[in-house]
Structure 1
Amino acid sequence: MVPGERENREDFTRPAGGLGLWESWLDDSTAPRPWSGAWSGAIRFSRGSPRSLAVAGQARDYISQRASLGAVAICIGAWPGGEAIVRGARQGFSLLQPLPAEMVALLLLLLLVPLLLFLAAPHIRKMLSSGVCTSTVQLPGKVVVVTGANTGIGKETAKELAQRGARVYIACRDVQKGELVAREIQSSTGNQQVLVRKLDLADTKSIRAFAEDFSAEEKHLHILINNAGVMMCPYSKTADGFEMHMGVNHLGHFLLTHLLLAKLKESAPSRVINVSSLAHHLGRIYFHNLQGEKFYNAGLAYCHSKLANILFTRELARRLKGSGVTAYSVHPGTVNSELIRHSALMRWMWRLFSFFIKTPQQGAQTSLYCALTEGLESLSGNHFSDCHLAWVSAQARNETIGRRLWDVSCDLLGLPTD
């Protein structure tokens, strides 16, 4: 015994071969209490060997297991009857005692989550099977640009538009991957007018070069789908010093759209579709911290950029009213795509809930709906989800913020504000 250490000793009787789980304290006034069976022998605290379990005497066969949970030690053992049992522990655990609130909450959560998922599964499956673009419009002679069409939703969007006879430009950063996708689409649709052009939305020089080359190559542009994006990137900046989410998701497409507006107007009726997200509800436009230099959170930065997409769409529609060019923003749904490549947590969650997540083909349906459905002109500036009108946040409906964001974006990109 260590000098000054107190010892508790209590005798119990139990049948041989029994199992026991007990609780003990370093308090002279409280003796260990078994939760099942009865013990024979002495239980002794030994501060020199905390969380230890041993069998004293002529033990023939025994099993001992120990599990530590932070400061809690759980020991379970089975020994021949009549032997002395020595256990040292600083803290113990007993099934006779009420469970900690945190453990109760965890157990309830583990029980409730499967139940809730089971109950919600029919509604989720209905959601995944709804929102299908049923338009039969064909696009021979039409010219379409889809950004980020070398993967995911953009790829499926480009494929469907090519299937309908459009001349489709895959505008992407990875040209080699884009060429592979173009050949795949050409093979599956029989449409050889699927072209790949370099476009890096994180570099305004690349955006301007793409727009200049496209304008020289094509006389018309009927549909522009601003689909490319980044999500939950560690803090980084574009080639022009913009925070990556705001720079790629908003400013890059803002500049591209402006540079192609002349072609869109000449080709009217024409459409601009901006892929946003339900995540815009968590977004805010902090004009004093637009580049995330004062404070930064990767998840919120994505939300802010998606809010900017909707504000841009609404202001663009207002400014283009009567021009024959209409604009729409869309929420594609929760889609299994490469957009989550920067977040290990999101990849894990996507795998865990893969049954409830849309495929890229399903995610492309609302973009296709806004690009193809006849009679949407009067709904220019609106937001769509699952091929239906969708509600947007109060921030997204704020015209003052929308106009200011337009002006600030023009200043950052060196564009005229009118």
Structure 2
Amino acid sequence: MWWLLPCILGFVRLYLDGVKVLLYQLFNRSFILPDLPKQNGKVAIVTGGARGMGYEISRHLASLDMHVVIAGNEEHEGLAAVKKIREELNQGKAGIMLVPERRTEDGFELHFGLNYLGHFLLTNLLLDVLKKSGKPGKCSRIVIMSSATHYGGRLTLDDLQGRMCYSAHGAYAQSKLALLLFSYHLQDQLWVRGDPVTVNAVDPGMVDTALYDNLSSPAQLAKKPFAKLLFRTPAEGASTAIYAAAASELKGIGGLYLYNGRKTESSALSYDQQLQTKLWKESCALVGLQ
């Protein structure tokens, strides 16, 4: 029975984190975006930009005169989002959560592969372009979408794919912790080399999107009466990511974890530089990067 313990702990940690977030959202207003400067044709790539918070980020950045590239798994959804955004402007995050055990085409556990490893690879493939595009005082910006669930996350380097004991709750929390470890380590590397690129991670809070469709039936029933009252809307959830991508006061500032528009301390584990380095090396090996 000992092998069940990590699964149970992952379940408990995730829902405790969720309760803390809901209590915060009950007594605190959602972050309201300030007026942001026009971006004058700068390029933004928004993963998962066709739905939910990703769509709201794409729409808002496009309204700031950014050239927005929507990256996702379904071409028809992306095209529909582009059409809708264009119509709205003329008139005036890719991720998954709590899915049953599944693998990507490359054999990675789905949460780890889609939420973390895909973004790790995409960011690294774009780094040279980002470095060339930025300059002192006008850095390129990388915004990583994490979550408060990272506080309960644990990283098992010898079982990142969850083969020994799979827990959807633990796998999701691990993927969000991995994103923070990655963002801090990447920013440190960029600073050491003097590259004009900043990396910040954001927590959107608990947002009423399709991510919760994979909750168990009892959890779905428990969520419904609270969703409208306590959950953020997709537009509210997107606001901190938009702020990180476009706010003038964040020029040249990186290595932050932002929640509700404010700098926040992430978990002690996320600042573990030895763990950051080990994860980076293991991730490079998994995706075939030097």
TM-score range, shorter chain: 0.7 to 0.9
SS in 2 for 1:353: helix
Q: 1:336–1:350: 8 Å Cα contact kept in structure 2?
A: no
Question: How far does the alpha carbon of each residue in 1:242-266 deviate from its partner, in whole angstroms, 9 at most, with x for none?
Answer: 1111111111000000111111111
- Give the counterpart of 2:77 among 156, 177, 183: 177
Task: Considering fraction of residues, name the structure with more helix.
Answer: 2
Q: Say whether the 8 Å CA contact 2:200–2:258 is kept in structure 1.
A: yes
Query: In the alignment, is the contact (CA less than 8 A) between 2:36 and 2:248 conserved in 1?
Result: no
> Which of residues 57, 62, 67 is equivalent to 1:162?
62
Which residue of 1 is the match for residue 116 of structure 2? 250
Displacement after TM superposition at 1:378 (Å)? 5.4
Residue 51 of structure 2 corresponds to: 151
Match of 1:215 in 2: none
Tell me the equivalent position of 1:327: 199
SS in 2 for 1:288: helix
Quick one: which amino acid aligns to residue 95 of structure 2?
G
Match of 1:336 among 183, 195, 208: 208
SS at match of 2:58: helix
Q: Which residue identity is paired with 1:136? A: L
Return the offset for 1:235. Answer: 0.6
Aligned partners of 2:64 and 2:26: how far apart in 1? Answer: 28
After superposition, the CA RMSD in angstroms is 1.7
Q: 1:347 to 1:267 in 2, by over 3 A?
A: farther
Residue deviations 1:271-317 (CA, integer Å, cap 9, x gap): 00010000001101101110000011101110000000100000010
Q: Paired residue for 1:189?
A: 89
- Residue equivalent to 2:130: 264
Q: Which runs of 4+ in 1 moved over 4 A?
A: none
Identity of aligned residues (%): 35
| Aligned-partner residue type, residue 249 of structure 1 | N
What does 1:197-236 correspond to in 2, within 5 Å?
Answer: 227-236=93-102
Separation in structure 2 between the aligned mates of residue 259 and residue 338 of structure 1, nearest angstrom: 29
Q: Distance in 2 between matches of 1:148 and 1:277?
A: 16
Where does residue 297 of structure 1 map in the other structure? Answer: 167
Structure 1 CA distance for aligned equivalents of residues 208 and 173 of structure 2: 18
Map 1:56-67 → 2, pairs under 5 A:
none
**Superposition deviation, residue 382 in structure 1:** 1.4
1:377 Cα offset (Å): 4.5
Highest relative contact order (Cα 8 Å, sep 6+), 1 or 2? Answer: 2
**How much has 1:124 moved relative to structure 2?**
3.8
Q: Distance in 2 between matches of 1:341 and 1:130?
A: 23
Whole-Å separation in 2 of the counterparts to 1:165 and 1:390 = 29
Q: Which residue of 2 aligns with 1:350?
A: 223
* Structure 1 letter corresponding to 2:30: S
Compute the TM-score of the two structures, normalised by the length of structure 1. 0.60
Question: What is the correspondence of 1:7-406 to structure 2 with a 5 Å cutoff?
Answer: 124-125=25-26, 127=28, 129-190=29-90, 227-268=93-134, 269-321=139-191, 322-345=194-217, 346-354=219-227, 355-377=229-251, 379-406=253-280
Partner of 1:44: none
Q: Are the structure 2 counterparts of residues 351 and 320 from structure 1 closer, same or farther at C-alpha, using a change threshold of 3 Å?
A: same
Q: 1:130 Cα shift?
A: 3.2
- Counterpart position of 1:95: none
Q: Unpaired runs of 5+ in structure 2?
A: 1-21
Q: How many residues align?
A: 260
CA-to-aligned-CA distance 1:101-132 (integer Å, 9 cap, x gap): xxxxxxxxxxxxxxxxxxx98x74552x3312
Query: What's the CA shift string for 1:358-395, capped at 9, x where partnerless?
Result: 00000001101111112325541110000101111111
- Structure 1 residues 149 and 348: alpha-carbon distance in aligned structure 2, compared to 1, 3 A threshold: farther
Query: What's the CA shift for 1:150?
Result: 1.1
Name stretches of at least 5 consecutive residues in structure 1 with no aligned partner.
Answer: 1-119, 192-226
- Structure with the largest fraction of strand: 1
User: Does the CA-based 8 Å contact 2:49-2:55 persist in structure 1?
Assistant: yes
| Conserved? CA contact 1:276–1:307, under 8 Å | yes
- Residue type at the aligned position of 1:382: L
Distance 1:188 1:125 in 2: 31
Tell me, what secondary structure is at the counterpart of 1:392?
A: coil
- Mapped to 2, the partners of 1:385 and 1:349 lie a distance apart of 25
Q: Is the 8 A contact 2:182 2:280 kept in 1?
A: yes
**How far apart, in 2, do the equivalents of 1:327 and 1:348 lie?**
38
Determine the structure 2 residue equivalent to 1:194.
none
